[in-house]
Amino acid sequence: MAKKDFELTWKEIPVGSIVHEPGNASEYQTGDWRSQMPVLDKAKCVKCGICYRFCPEPCIVKDDEGYYVADLFYCKGCGICAYECPKDAITIVKEEH
Amino acid sequence: MSTLNTLQKLKDAGELFMPGHRACIGCGEVLAMRQVCKALGKDIIIANATGCMEIISSPFPTTNWNVPWIHALFENTAAVASGVESGLDAMRRKGRGPSQDVTVVAMGGDGSTFDIGLQSLSGALERGHNFIYVCFDNEGYMNTGIQRSSATPYGASTTTSPVGKNSIGQTTQKKDMPLIALAHHIPYIATCTPAHPTDLAKKIKKAKEIKGPAYIHVFSPCPTGWGTDSDVAIELCRLAVDTGVFPLGECVHGTYALTKHIKDLKPIRDYMKLQRRFRHLSDDVIDQIQAQVRAHYAVVRSKCGVVTN
Amino acid sequence: MAKRVGAEGSFAVAEAVRLADTDVVAAYPITPQTHIVERLSEMVADGELKANFIYVESEHSAMSACLGSAAVGARTFTSTAGQGLELMHEVLYLASSMRLPIVMAVADRALSGPLNVWGDHSDAMATRECGWIQYFGENAQEVFDLTLCAFKIAEHHDVLFPVMVHMDGFHVSHVVEPYLLPDKEELGDFLPPIDYPYPLDPNKPITMGAFAPPAVYSECRKAQDVAVNSTHGTIENVWNEFAKRFGRQYKPIETHKTEDAETILVSIGSFNQMAGVAVDKLRSEGKKVGLVRIRLWRPFPLQAFRQAVKSAKNVVVFERSMTYGGTVGPVCAEVKSALYGIKDAPRIMDFIGGLGGRDMSPKQFEALFKRAQEIFDKNLDIQYETIGVRE
């Protein structure tokens, strides 16, 4: 785990302020930006992966059964997956906070 | 943290740009960028201009990048990429540097491409560096709060081309950036959108294979700046292509081709009505824009050897 | 074996770049730097220098290309002057904050306007906050030696900062002088191959140029400030090693007849040559006067400078640029800041001249020494005077 910006002392700044750990921003949770979430109806899903193709995060990956599922840790709830799903298998549901 | 082992699965799927980035909800540009990166593959070095894609992906001490990436300034990305390419080339000749072939990629938005970075881009294209320049065109300075650029289309309302008693919004025509790139006689130029991912991947791969500079222009809808719902980025790309606003094509060693030929252009209204930035326009102005789009498409068609109606 | 050759400063710099087996040169022509890039172009065309020369379309792109080249680990050189250095300005900060070991020779030139292509230090002084190591050479031999050393210093893992080698436009860049040019054999292992530790490489992806929010920007700046201030030791070590091998010694602060001097002249760049002649003349007249030449300008050698002037009653600064609206010129401001508050601090007077290529003779330095005495003796409240302007 990388230290947070406000935790770093000047002595801990790497030469050139280089970030040496690839992809470490993935510790940041973007899922809490969300006010609505995608819900997959597995009965309609044909596992085509179009939702994954068009996910801007990307946060949609295959689960053990081969269904494409949004990881809610990252999903911002844009709804593109639902809009683009050729089988209308994804619905966007308002979330209560 | 996530429970689906998401990051590993994404890496296994060849994703080079990781989630947890700060792009707006439904951003079409970041979607386009990750498609471009995936098509490029991991043996790349990216020089990224200041702008949305830079700021959303690199809050020190973290990064969303899984590939070597350098950001310096707004207007110098093509020059930085020139140095990367020349440095690698010189070292390779002397038996140093990475052992594999490395593709050098410069990326910028329309602000850094059409406007402030046009000179450094022109220089890099003219010098013939073996690199790919990718312009993610969201038609304005979105990162600084939706100001007009020379890529903002006629009639669009932005914070610096606002609608007022004496103005309909942007009063100038969008600069034809791919044509400017073409004027450098570079071997490869293509236009793409994230709604046509197979086409996009094919063009990126072509750009990678062809030696010399390649210019890739990617249409990148911006829900925040264009005033759209968050789920229509892909729909907007499709409509932009199908209405003739953004023709999909390429030019290989001077030979033009439309990669998606639209026989019957959809009405421009279909595209505009999804966007708040055009909502103020009168029917007269929309008709005028419609005529311009058709005329422009006809020119493109004729260049591509397709007979106009 | 070293051979004695006659060449202008520009060509001497080019020879150093060639001997360093530089990988990439990215430069744009500008007077009075042009002879450097012309000579390097010839060397590349003849295969004497196996570098890629990037013929950029501006100095902004020159420095930007240098960033990219240095970031992949290539030995990188550029050169500019005056307006060119100003056009690079914002990129210079990136080179230092990213810790990229770029070497740049600057044929110092006046800044517009009015347009003037001749020598002074306006450009060098405008870049003094950019985080580069900056030092000055006064003749062909010095700029050759110091350019060679610049690669070794910049690329040293305890340094990793870009280095600017300054030489006064025309007075050094274009004056033909004899100098000793060593060959590869004599160079030996003085300059090892570049081994930049953090190159952009797909086999080990890093992110360079991440943005720092307010929560960490200050820490980044402090880290850089401490790092540049801790390069003094390496700079001196490299110069000492150079002296051992080639017999020519460079120091951050160099002195001439200062031991018992009551008045010390302080100067920088090619002024030193004339000031030195003036000091010898004044000494022959019995005046207790000496000269301190500031060779290393950034990071400023504070302790060495204090040591060099500590016994003087008077310090007279000569410099080649103005600070519009400031209290004194930039060199004098540094000098005052360095000496303020020390015990028995000397009185300080600043003379600004040699602007835009205006020649200065040793006689003028003698006269100004006397003018300074007058100002000190009469206790006049004068901070600086501009030399030789028609009233």
- For the stretch C350-375, pLDDT in tens is 999 999 999 999 999 999 999 999 99
Query: Which phi and psi (to 5°) does residue B6 adopt?
Result: -55, -45
Q: Does C198 touch chain A (CB under 8 A)?
A: yes
Summarize the confidence of residues C293-307 as an average pLDDT: 98
Identify from A6, A10, A21 which residue to disrupt to test chain C contact, counting C C-beta atoms within 10 A and taking the largest count: A10
Domain count, chain B: 1
* Contact call for A15 and C160, based on CB within 8 A: yes
Q: Is residue B309 included in any domain, yes or no?
A: no
State which fold the C3-246 domain adopts: Rossmann fold (3.40.50)
pLDDT of residue C204: 98
Is the pLDDT confidence value at C214 over 60? Answer: yes
- Tens-place pLDDT, residues B262-294: 999 999 999 999 999 999 999 999 999 999 999
Each of the 309 residues of chain B gets a pLDDT tens digit; together they read: 555 699 999 999 999 999 999 999 999 999 999 999 999 999 999 999 999 999 999 999 999 999 999 999 999 999 999 999 999 999 999 999 999 999 999 999 999 999 999 999 999 999 999 999 999 999 999 999 999 999 999 999 999 999 999 999 999 999 999 999 999 999 999 999 999 999 999 999 999 999 999 999 999 999 999 999 999 999 999 999 999 999 999 999 999 999 999 999 999 999 999 999 999 999 999 999 999 999 999 999 998 875 543
Q: Hey, what are C114's tokens?
A: 């009015």
pLDDT, chain C, mean: 97
The whole-angstrom distance between residue A25's C-alpha and the CA centroid of its chain comes to 12
Q: Give the nearest partner residue to A58 out of B19, B26, B61, using CB atoms.
A: B19
B41 near B66, Cβ under 8 Å? no
Q: Does A16 touch chain C (CB under 8 A)?
A: yes
Is the pLDDT confidence value at C105 over 90? Answer: yes
Q: Give the nearest partner residue to A16 out of C208, C213, C218, using CB atoms.
A: C208
Length of chain A: 97
* Contact call for A61 and B66, based on CB within 8 A: no
Q: Give the nearest partner residue to C58 out of B73, B98, B119, using CB atoms.
A: B119
Q: What architecture is the C253-386 domain classified under in CATH?
A: 3-Layer(aba) Sandwich (3.40)
Identify from A12, A26, A28 which residue to disrupt to test chain B contact, counting B C-beta atoms within 10 A and taking the largest count: A26
pLDDT of residue C1: 76
The minimum CA-CA distance between B212 and chain C, rounded to whole Å, is 15
Q: What is the CATH number of the domain that holds A92?
A: 3.30.70.20
Query: Residues 187..226 of C with a Cβ closer than 8 Å to B: which?
Result: 193, 199-213, 216, 220
pLDDT of residue B6: 95
Summarize the confidence of residues A74-88 as an average pLDDT: 98
Give percent above pLDDT 90 in chain C: 99
Q: Hey, what are C45's tokens?
A: 């065309």
Virtual CA dihedral for B67, C162, C232, C183, nearest 10 degrees?
A: 110
Domain boundaries, chain C: 3-246, 253-386
At residue B264, the 3 state secondary structure works out as coil
> Which chain B residues are closer than 8 Å to A19 by Cβ?
58, 60-63
Is the pLDDT confidence value at C142 over 80? Answer: yes
pLDDT of residue C141: 98
Q: Give the nearest partner residue to A10 out of C98, C160, C222, using CB atoms.
A: C222
Range of the domain at A47: 34-97
Q: What is the CATH number of the domain that holds B98?
A: 3.40.50.970
CA–CA separation, C27 and C32 (whole Å): 13
Range of the domain at B275: 16-303
Residue C339 one-letter amino acid: L
Q: Is residue B10 included in any domain, yes or no?
A: no
Q: Is residue B136 included in any domain, yes or no?
A: yes
Q: Is residue A58 included in any domain, yes or no?
A: yes
Summarize the confidence of residues C277-306 as an average pLDDT: 97
Q: Hey, what are C276's tokens?
A: 């030195």
pLDDT of residue B309: 36
Q: What ipTM does the predicted assembly reach?
A: 0.97
pLDDT of residue B1: 52
Is the pLDDT confidence value at A2 over 80? Answer: no
* Contact call for C54 and B68, based on CB within 8 A: no
* Contact call for A26 and B231, based on CB within 8 A: no
CA–CA separation, C282 and C284 (whole Å): 5
pLDDT of residue B2: 58
Q: Is residue A19 included in any domain, yes or no?
A: no
Summarize the confidence of residues C104-120 as an average pLDDT: 97
What is the three-state SS of B87-115? HHHHHHHCCCCCCCCCEEEEEEEHHHHHH
Q: Does B127 touch chain C (CB under 8 A)?
A: yes
Q: Is residue B6 included in any domain, yes or no?
A: no
C118 near C32, Cβ under 8 Å? yes
Give B254's strand partners: none
Domain count, chain A: 1
pLDDT of residue B303: 87
Task: Compute CA distances A52 → A3, A83, B8, B23, B194, whole Å.
Answer: 31, 12, 15, 17, 12
